[in-house]
Structures are given as structure tokens and as C-alpha cells.
Amino acid sequence: MRNVLVLMGLLAMLGLGAPAAAQTDKVAGDVCTLKVKGMACSACAARVREEAMKIDGVTAAKVDQPTGLAEITFDRKKVSPQEIAERITKITGFKAEVQESEP
């Protein structure tokens, strides 16, 4: 057991573990926040998330039904926050609007 711990320590010091990028669940890209009105339950939030993930250029989506907010990570070269909001509104029926950041 002691040998295993020593070996693990050496590997960690040499940087042979998982790269830092693999150790996080963050996805690179721009992030926008949408205000989504009309979600009544977690299934509503799940639907918004699923539909957002189908949009070309969206790489991650977190939707919180109690606050009515959706945090969308996307590639600005492929899609804009306004386009994401419009698609979510059209497909799900929930009114999605880009929430402007505070100055």
C-alpha cells in the first residue's frame, strides 16, 4: 500500500495525472443568461435545456426553474444569444429573453 501511495505521489508531481482541462466540467465559449418565463416544474426546465442543446453552436446549458434563468455556453461564431432565445421561445413555447448584464 505504501508503494502505491509513493507511486501516485510521484506521478502527480510529474504531471502525469489528468490534465487540468479534463478535471473541470466547464466548457469553453461565451456565456449568456436568458430569462425564461412560464416554467412551472423541473420537467419544463429539462425541456428548455434539451432544446437549447440541439441548437448548433450551443455547447452547454444549465436551466433553473425556480429562478427562471438559463445559463447558455455557446460559440459566438455559430449563434448569437438573441437567436438562442428566439429558438427556445419558438420550440418550447416558454418566453425566453436575453438578460442584459449589469453595467
What's 64's domain CATH number?
3.30.70.100
Whole-prediction pTM: 0.70
Kindly tell me if the per-residue pLDDT of 103 is higher than 60: no
What gap in Å lies between CA 52 and CA 100, rounded to an integer? 19
Q: Is the pLDDT of residue 74 over 90?
A: yes
pLDDT for the residue 27 = 52
Question: DSSP code of 57?
Answer: T
Total structural domains within the chain: 1
Are the C-beta atoms of 32 and 84 separated by less than 8 Å?
yes
Give a yes or no: residue 81 inside a domain: yes
* Burial readout 27-43 (b: 16 or more C-beta within 10 A, e: otherwise): eebeebbbebeebeeee
Give me the domain span that covers residue 69.
Answer: 25-98
63 domain residue, yes or no: yes
For the stretch 24-36, pLDDT in tens is: 344 567 999 999 9
Q: Which residue carries 438578460 as its cell?
A: 99
Cell numbers linked to 16: 502525469
